Structures are given as C-alpha cells and as structure tokens.
Structure 1
Amino acid sequence: MQARNDGHSVIVFPDLVGGWYFVEIDGNAVYRFGPFESYKIVSDLVPVLFPEIPKLEILEPTEFDDDALMILGNGERVGETSRG
C-alpha cells in the first residue's frame, strides 16, 4: 500500500521500431528499462520486479520524453488511489 501513495508507478509501452520498454516512475525520477525483444518478456518481468505498484500498459507504439512519462505515471497512481 505504501507504494501507491508515494508517486510510484510503472508504464509498459512499445517504441516505434518494435522494442518494448518498461519505465519506473518513483517520485520525481524516471527509470527506463529496455528495449526488450517482446511484450512477453516485459510482461513477465514487471510483476516480479514491481508486484504491488500500479501499472499502466500502452499498446500503441510511441515515443515519450520523461515529462510525458511522469504525467502518465502520476495519472495512473491517482486513478489507482481513486479506485481503491
């Protein structure tokens, strides 16, 4: 429960050339991991590494800068808190 209240979230998304990433948003920090070859690799890793942290999956290939990722991650965290 602590992770849901401290600005901690994870975003999974593909890039424009076929690689998959996951990004950890922790407070004001953005940590990028990837590219990985497939969605399966990322979807297997994220629940093990971040079991209780809200996760947002974006399936459309796109490019994000750190500011956009921070906004998305904080939006997911607020949404989780509202639903919970």
Structure 2
Amino acid sequence: MQAQRNGHSVIVYPDMIGGWYFAEIDGRAVYRFGPFESHKLLRELVGILFPDIPVLELVEPSSLMDDSTLMILGNAERVAKITEEQKTAWQ
C-alpha cells in the first residue's frame, strides 16, 4: 500500500523487435532495464525484485515509450489500484 501512495510502480513492455523491458517509476524518476530475451524471465525477475510494487504490463509494442509516457502509465496504474482497494473496502 505504501508503494502505491508514494509513486512507486513498475511497467513491463515489449519493443518493436521482440525484446522485453521494464521501467521502475519511483516518484519523478524513471529507471529503464532491458532488453530481456524472454517475457517469462522478465516477469520472474520483476516478481523477485518488486514483490509488493504495482506492475502494469503492456502487450503491444510502441515506439512512444518516453519517460513522460511511462510516468503517466505508472500513475494511472497506481490510481486504479488505490481506487479498487477503496471500492472493495466500502463494500
């Protein structure tokens, strides 16, 4: 829960030629890692490194993955998870 509130998330995404990347969004910083050859390997690595951090996975490759786009996507994922938790708590 703390990670969702302080701006920490991870985005997993493919590139245009079949490699896989992840970006850690931490506040206003974006840290990119990759390419990785295997989606499975990348998911295992992210699960070990960030077990309690919200992860957004994109399946369609895009050439528009600049830092601003990744931050927007990371923030949207955190807000969605917080909203869902609050909704569940009220039911």
TM bracket, shorter-chain basis? over 0.9
**1:66 alignment partner in structure 2:** 67
Counterpart secondary structure, 1:13: strand
Aligned runs of 1:29-44 on 2, under 5 Å? 29-44=29-44
Q: Give 3-state SS (helix, strand or coil) of 1:11's partner.
A: strand
Which 4+ residue blocks in structure 1 deviate beyond 4 angstroms?
none
RMSD between aligned alpha carbons? 0.7
Question: Which residue pairs with 1:53 in the alignment?
Answer: 53
- What TM-score, normalized to structure 2? 0.89
SS of match in other structure, 1:68: helix
Q: How much does 1:38 deviate?
A: 1.1
Match of 1:35, SS state, is strand
* Partner deviation per Cα, 1:37-58 (whole Å, 9 max, x = no partner): 0101111101110001111000
1:18 corresponds to: 18
> Partners of 1:41 and 1:32 in 2: how far apart?
16
Secondary structure of 2:3 counterpart: helix
Q: How many residues align?
A: 84
Gaps of 5+ in 1: none
Distance 1:39 1:61 in 2: 13
- Using the size of structure 1 for normalisation, the TM-score is 0.96
Q: Which residue does the alignment assign to 1:77?
A: 78
Amino acid at match of 2:18: G
Looking at structure 2, the residues matched to 45 and 83 of structure 1 have their Cα atoms a distance apart, in angstroms, of: 26
Which ranges of structure 2 fall in alignment gaps of 5 or more residues?
Answer: 86-91
Larger Rg: 2
The residue type equivalent to 2:73 in the other structure is L
